[in-house]
Amino acid sequence: MSSINEQPLLTPSSPSERILSIDMLRGFAVLGILIMNIQSFSMIFEAYMNPTAYGDLTGANKWVWIISHLLANEKFMTLFSMLFGAGILLFIEKANAKGRKPGPLHYRRNFWLLLFGMAHAYLLWYGDILVAYSLCAFFVYLFRNKKASTLLNIGIIFFLVPVVFYLFFGFSLQFWPEEQLEMSKLNWKPDTEMVQKDNDIMRGSWSEQMENRVPTTLFMQTFLFFIYMFWRVSGLMLIGMAFYKWDILTALKSKQFYIRLIFIGFLLGLPVVGYGIYKNFSMEWAYEYSMFIGSQFNYVASVFVSIGYIGIIMLIAKSHSFKLWKKVFSSVGRMAFTNYILMTIICTFIFYGHGLGLYGQIERTGQILLVFGIWIFLMIMSMLWLKYFRFGPLEWLWRTLTYWKVQPMRY
């Protein structure tokens, strides 16, 4: 370690070198993902995809689900994935500027992220995204020198691969063995006994929760990763790299450009997502339709809605107004890693048995109120922390491990 410590250029970017628009967008995204993630924290796994699988779905609860699905489901993870891709290029630029070889640093950085993600997934919550990001980052680094148009085209192809898989599964259901189909339908909408067992496990001790957490995590990191997450995340990272090379994410385009981005994104995205909601309800969320075919409206259109959000945040970043919101979003974004894990710690304490044990007992209206409360806490905490420290605690640890040198924490 001493030989590395002697190299003064081996340091991360200082706060003054950061790009405000990217920090703002990252903060906006990490806050937004809680709208959907809280459903995974508080209810059975199946309720995330199928809202009829658990909980009340009438009145205000139904409207909370509809609005959450329309505005949040897959949209903020799309932003986060794009930003991760852009962050790879930004990391390379800064390493090159300091005379370092970016490759070894990149792979070391994402190796540690992989370990963080594995611990997060197996010890705290199966819904971890860090493992997928680290594995996809190993791969998309190979495309770093491609032109923006090439990155966009490859990214779109990768992104659409899960659509092919899902449509194939959906249209081939008639050929599935009856026993397999019935089992899949039961997993789509579990019976009372299965739901009660899940509730009992997650309201139990931390070690008892492993009965659910480990197999669900294994499923997400194997089968689901290879047919869905690898293609989606890699594709969006490549698109984010293209957007970064075109200066879209750094607020350097004109106001007119971002206004067009908002209109195009929302006009193309929201009606398609809305139609998908209508169609799934009209089909009564039947497994034969909603699991594979009905889910594709939101999958594809989520990218357009996310592009609309990019336009909004870039306009705010370019504006001389909204100073408080700039500070709020950028502070949360500078501590995105810490805030992401902190959301897990807070929510698992609220819902799981090693904490308050409210799993399966909070309806969607109550969940969204908790989201607002957690947002306020994270916003205030992030701004206060960054008044005294250069990095969030996990950002500091990640940087220290990446550069193999203890980083200065205080200003």
Residue pLDDT tens, the chain, 411 long: 333 333 333 444 454 457 999 999 999 999 999 999 999 999 999 999 999 999 999 999 999 999 999 999 999 999 999 999 999 999 999 999 988 899 999 999 999 999 999 999 999 999 999 999 999 999 999 999 999 999 999 999 999 999 999 999 999 999 999 999 999 999 999 999 999 999 999 999 999 999 999 999 999 999 999 999 999 999 999 999 999 999 999 999 999 999 999 999 999 999 999 999 999 999 999 999 999 999 999 999 999 999 999 999 999 999 999 999 999 999 999 999 999 999 999 999 999 999 999 999 999 999 999 999 999 999 999 999 999 999 999 999 999 999 999 999 988
pLDDT of res. 95: 92
Q: Give the helix/strand (H/E) hosting 175.
A: none
pLDDT mean across residues, the chain: 94
pLDDT of res. 81: 97
Residue 75: CB atoms within 10 A of its CB come to 28
Angstrom distance (rounded) from CA 197 to CA 212: 10
**Residue showing tokens 């860090």:** 130
Picking from 102, 130, 127, 137, the residue whose alpha carbon sits closest to that of residue 115 is: 130
Q: How many residues does the chain have?
A: 411
Residue 192: CB atoms within 10 A of its CB come to 7
- Write down the domain spans for the chain: 2-403
pLDDT of res. 73: 97
Sign of CA dihedral 306, 308, 309, 311: positive
**Cα distances (angstroms) measured from residue 360 to each of 47, 113, 127, 199, 203:** 11, 31, 17, 6, 9
CB 150 within 8 A of CB 241: no
- Entry pTM: 0.93
Tokens of 181: 């189909």
Q: Which residues contact 360 (CB under 8 A, 6 or more apart)?
A: 42, 43, 44, 54, 195, 198, 199, 202, 203
pLDDT of res. 3: 36
Q: Give the helix/strand (H/E) hosting 89.
A: helix 75-97
Picking from 117, 77, 80, 110, the residue whose alpha carbon sits closest to that of residue 92 is: 110
End-to-end CA distance of the chain: 24
